[in-house]
DNA sequence: AAATTAAAAGACAAATTACTCTTAAATATT
DNA sequence: AATATTTAAGAGTAATTTGTCTTTTAATTT
């Protein structure tokens, strides 16, 4: 798997918030139900994202989470880094330490190419752009496609 | 992580055998020591590859494993499929079922592109080609670079 | 035939990832 | 002030991946 489940859930939640745009707080309960993600698990994941400054939260009635300024301008890459860390973009095809820093292997060139094609794709894709396209084209965020933007 | 550890170990072992080329059997003990992979774990992994017809094994003194005809002509893609299964090439960026078969999301196009760039890279890279280049250029198969072709 | 070598198979253990539950802290409403 | 709402934090459980150990099976050597 390219991305961990935590990461995928985090992305879905971030897209959810980006689509609602207006900087309102949305409760985790609401999000977990609409996105069909375990409430407590989602809580954990979004805690990471708020700790990382990509989201901000507010406690109490009508509280919830929303994208921070930083989060609103973020790309998929930023989200992936915040949750899965940089491993995907630094680690080596053969699991050897120090990719590229020592004598390379024949895989190196092709590997580094595809690795940065992943990286570039994630970097050029901003949350808000995706969310807008998502609303236009009615893409789904849930397995059953029941989620409406 | 793109590839599981099992998969990475399997690839290293396959490259090892491809580099030795002459269709001799190599014992798992020898390979596990040279490649610095746990003997028993490597055994399990290569059992999968022999079950899949990519390698063949021989018991008893001077026994071991070697690449089968099929394995000798295999690409990295074949190895990955045999160990990690097709998930990497079929699963979706957002973890939704049925990628592309239902209404797509805005991620779909970029996602499918990078996904097939991974796939193409693995498909165009044959084990034996890599092993030859590896010997020429003295690339490393182990963390410490001590392994010699 | 007996002993040795090496893979196959299966049970087991540790580590990581995925997920759940409970309690605490902050904010709002009454 | 008391109660309700909602996130934070932490402990605990389940599942998967990773790694180990033991026994069995096939082949060779003596
Ligand atoms: S050269 Fe190949 S083996 Fe060496 S670090 Fe880069 S990808 Fe890994
Ligand atoms: S369109 Fe997007 S969400 Fe839908 S299956 Fe393809 S990658 Fe996944």
CA atoms of B128 and B133, how far apart (whole Å): 9
The answer to whether B38 CB is within 7 Å of strand D is yes
Instruction: Say what the pTM is.
Output: 0.92
pLDDT, residue B102, reads: 64
CATH number, span A5-137 = 1.10.10.10
CA atoms of A135 and B103, how far apart (whole Å): 12
Instruction: Report the nearest-CA residue for atom 8 of ligand 2.
Output: B92
Q: What is the pLDDT of residues A43-86, one digit of tens each?
A: 999 999 999 999 999 999 999 999 999 999 999 999 999 999 99
Ligand 1 binding pocket includes A114 (Cβ within 6 Å): no
Give A43-52 contacts, CB < 8 A, sequence gap 24+. A44/A6, A45/A6, A45/A9, A45/A10, A45/A13, A45/A83, A46/A10, A46/A13, A48/A6, A48/A10, A48/A82, A48/A83, A49/A10, A49/A13, A49/A14, A49/A79, A49/A82, A49/A83, A52/A82
Q: How confident is the model at residue B145 (pLDDT cuts 50, 70, 90)?
A: low
Mean pLDDT on B74-93: 93
DSSP assigned state of B74: -
Which nucleotide is closest to the Cα of A55 by its C1'?
A: D7
* Count of beta carbons in the 10 Å neighbourhood of residue A40: 10
Residue-averaged pLDDT of chain B: 89
Q: How confident is the model at residue B105 (pLDDT cuts 50, 70, 90)?
A: confident
When scoring A139, A142, A146 by the number of chain B Cβ atoms within 10 A, the one with the most, hence best to mutate, is A139
CA atoms of B141 and B149, how far apart (whole Å): 9
Q: How far is A60 from chain B (nearest CA, A)?
A: 30
Q: What is the pLDDT of residues A9-54, one digit of tens each?
A: 999 999 999 998 778 999 999 999 999 999 999 999 999 999 999 9
**Are the C-beta atoms of residues B13 and B47 closer than 8 Å to each other?**
no
**Are the C-beta atoms of residues A105 and B134 closer than 8 Å to each other?**
yes
When scoring A5, A98, A121 by the number of chain B Cβ atoms within 10 A, the one with the most, hence best to mutate, is A121
pLDDT, residue B98, reads: 65
The answer to whether A48 CB is within 7 Å of strand D is no
* Count of beta carbons in the 10 Å neighbourhood of residue A72: 18
**How large a percentage of chain A has pLDDT more than 90?**
68
* Residue of B79, B90, B88, B87 whose CA lies nearest to B125: B79
Q: How far is CA B59 from CA B15, B27, B32, B53, B96, in A?
A: 21, 9, 17, 16, 45
pLDDT higher than 90, residue A149: no
Q: Per-domain residue ranges for chain B?
A: 5-137
DSSP assigned state of B126: B
């Amino acid at each position: 798997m390219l991305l961990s489940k935590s990461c995928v859930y985090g992305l879905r939640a971030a897209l959810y918030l980006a689509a609602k745009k207006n900087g309102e707080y949305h409760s985790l309960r609401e999000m977990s139900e609409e996105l069909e993600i375990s409430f407590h698990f989602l809580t954990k994941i979004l805690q990471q994202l708020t700790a990382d400054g990509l989201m901000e939260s507010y406690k109490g009635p009508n509280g919830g989470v929303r994208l921070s300024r930083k989060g609103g301008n973020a790309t998929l890459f930023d989200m992936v880094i915040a949750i899965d860390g940089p491993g995907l973009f630094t680690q080596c095809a053969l699991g050897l330490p120090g990719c590229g820093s020592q004598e390379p292997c024949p895989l190196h060139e092709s590997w580094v190419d595809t690795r940065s094609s992943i990286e570039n794709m994630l970097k050029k894709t901003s949350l808000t752009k995706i969310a807008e396209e998502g609303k236009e084209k009615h893409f789904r965020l849930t397995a059953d496609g029941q989620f409406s933007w």
